[in-house]
Chain A
Amino acid sequence: MNSTLLLLIGFAVLVLLLLVWVLRDPRKSAKPDGDLDSTDELSQRHVGYFPQVRQALAVEDFAFLSSRGSPQLARRMRRERKKIALAYLSCLRGDFLKLWRLARVIASMSPQVGVAQEFARLRLGVAFSLRYEMIRIEFLFGLAPIPELGSLSDVVSRLSIRLETAMNNLGERAALAAKLASSLDDGHGLDTR
């Protein structure tokens, strides 16, 4: 069997696998951190915990405790604080994903969608995921540069404020459109004939 035929069979099998994945109920595979149902959850972002995380990972703090305690305690502290940093980075990613999905919702509700904009966002999302994974792996082997992590939090925070404003605008417009439609259904609408 030559390579073209193998490629064709491989393609068909890939399409079948994709079909199963695409037609699966998205709610079943949705991760809890990516759920957009609750608006309360959206307002509870993790970026606000940055000062506490910075405090926990401060070099001076660590040096002070190491000089006073035993080496065992220092090792334990380092391990636990690394866990905290990793958890924080993971939460930042959760925030990013929520906002990114919100951006897709805005696009899906728009009557006109720009291919370039959508493609650029898809590319950025993929790049973010890849870099996040690389940084996470590096976090596992060394200490995090805290100032950079802080500016990362700022970007997520700014993005979330913009999106929340946009979603509020959309909600108001949708309510207005529904109100207008219901008043037309009541027979009080304009006669356009």
Chain B
Amino acid sequence: MSRFPLPVLWLWACSVLAQLLVMALLFLKGSSRKLPYFTAYVGLNICQAGFLVFVYSHLWSQPAAADTLAWTSEFPTLVAQALATVEILEITLRPYQGIWGLGWRALTVTSGIVVLLVILAARGHWGSARWFQLDRGYHLTFASALIACLLLVRYYSIPVPPAYKMMLGGFCFYSCTEIVVNTLLQAYFRKDFFLHAAAWQLLTMSSFVIALVVWATALRKPLPVEDRQAASPSDDDYLRLSPQINEDLRRLNEKLLRLWKLEASQQ
């Protein structure tokens, strides 16, 4: 553990305490039953912290092996993060089956495009910093998919309970800061990137602690009971009306275009 400076160790301790607080709130307020994947995510983070203490204590003489193990332990928590976010989005959009269906498709398409872009951008540039590139690629995909879903929610004016808003905001904030920190450090310390690992840890851990504080604030009260219901029992209205409305809107646009052209020709 001596390879890390004291501020990093302090921040690590704070992060673990915050994680324990979030976990305690999840169980005390009964939110763990509503959010099993989120609970698993926080639990996995706590387990990862314990695992890292063990790895860095016992493998201090083999830093390369310790780093590989530490990065590998990140994989399950990242999967849990994605599942926890989908879980919150699913709860938010459950009464809106059609929009949830649309959200799923938006999520898949956005993720696919971003993954492709990440692979193209990183092609031929894998070096010793591949772990950071992989981490950044994941957060890039995650943040894009999440913001696409949130934009959809906003576009359809779907009410989102403040607690869920805060939780989704925490995830998005954490991913965005990871992208910025990974990119900045890689840009400025390209040659001796690993010498600045402490700076990277300080910055990323700080953003995670901020996210944990936001989640703890969101979970300080029991989560709202889901009693919203979709108003329409069938999709006949939509299937009948949507093409008609679009046709009318198209006609209106054509009128506007003609009006514009007429004015241009008059001048």
Question: CB within 8 Å of B: which residues of A?
Answer: 1-2, 4-5, 8-9, 11-13, 15-16, 18-19, 21-23, 26, 96, 100-101, 103-115, 117-118, 120-122, 124-125, 127-128, 131-132, 134-135, 138, 141-142, 144-145, 148-149, 151-152, 155-156, 158-159, 162-163, 166, 169-171, 173-174, 177, 181
Q: Is the CB of B176 within 8 A of A148?
A: no
Known: A104-B155, A117-B246. A109 touches B232 (CB 8 A): yes
Which chain A residues border B235 with CB–CB below 8 Å?
Answer: 110-112
A170 engages B232 (CB within 8 Å): yes
The smallest C-beta distance from B30 to any residue of chain A, in angstroms, reads 24
Q: Select B249's contact among A100, A105, A144, A151, beta carbons within 8 Å.
A: A100
CB of A18 within 8 A of CB of B151, answer: yes
Does B262 interact with chain A (Cβ within 8 Å)? yes
Tell me the B129-181 residues at the A interface (CB within 8 Å): 136, 140, 143-144, 147, 150-151, 153-158, 165, 168-169, 172-173, 176-177, 179-180
Measured CA separation A111–B230 after assembly (Å): 8
**Chain B interface helix/strand/loop/mixed:** helix
Q: Is A152 touching B157 in the complex (CB atoms < 8 A)?
A: no
State whether A162 touches B244 (Cβ < 8 A): yes
Residues of B within 8 A of A (CB): 96-99, 101-102, 105, 121, 136, 140, 143-144, 147, 150-151, 153-158, 165, 168-169, 172-173, 176-177, 179-180, 183-184, 186-188, 229-235, 237-239, 241-246, 248-253, 255-260, 262-264, 266-267
The reply to whether B245 and A121 contact each other, CB–CB distance below 8 Å, is yes
Contact in complex: A22, B154 (CB < 8 Å): yes
By the criterion CB–CB under 8 Å, are B140 and A8 in contact? yes
Residue pair A134, B260 in contact (C-beta under 8 Å): yes
Which residue of chain B has the shortest Cβ distance to A155 in the bound complex?
B252
Chain A residue numbers with a CB within 8 Å of B156 are 104-105, 107-108
Contacts of B230 in A (CB 8 A): 109, 111
Chain A residues near B180 (CB, 8 Å)? Answer: 9, 12-13
Do residues B255 and A155 form an inter-chain contact, with CB atoms below 8 A?
yes
Q: Within the assembled complex, what's the spacing in Å between the Cα atoms of A45 and B260?
A: 24
B143 vs chain A, min Cβ distance (A): 5
Contact A163 B245 (CB under 8 A): yes
Known contacts being A12-B180, A118-B102, is A145 close to B250, with CB within 8 Å?
no
Other than the known A121-B245, A138-B264, what 10 A-B pairs have Cβ atoms closer than 8 Å?
A: A2-B187, A9-B184, A18-B147, A109-B230, A109-B238, A110-B98, A148-B259, A155-B251, A174-B232, A177-B231
Residue of A nearest to B186 (CB): A5
How far, in angstroms, from A166 to B102 measured CA to CA in the complex?
Answer: 22
> Which of B156, B232, B239 has the most chain A CB atoms closer than 10 A to its own CB?
B232
Q: Is the CB of B96 within 8 A of A108?
A: yes
Hey, which chain A residues are within 8 Å of B251, CB to CB?
155
Q: Is the CB of B173 within 8 A of A124?
A: no
Residues of chain B within 8 A (CB-CB) of A162 are 241, 244-245, 248
Nearest-Cβ distance from residue B59 to partner chain A, whole angstroms: 32
Q: How far is the CB of A89 from chain B (nearest CB, A)?
A: 10
Cβ–Cβ contact B248 & A112, under 8 A:
no
- State in angstroms the CA–CA spacing of A113 and B180 once bound together: 36
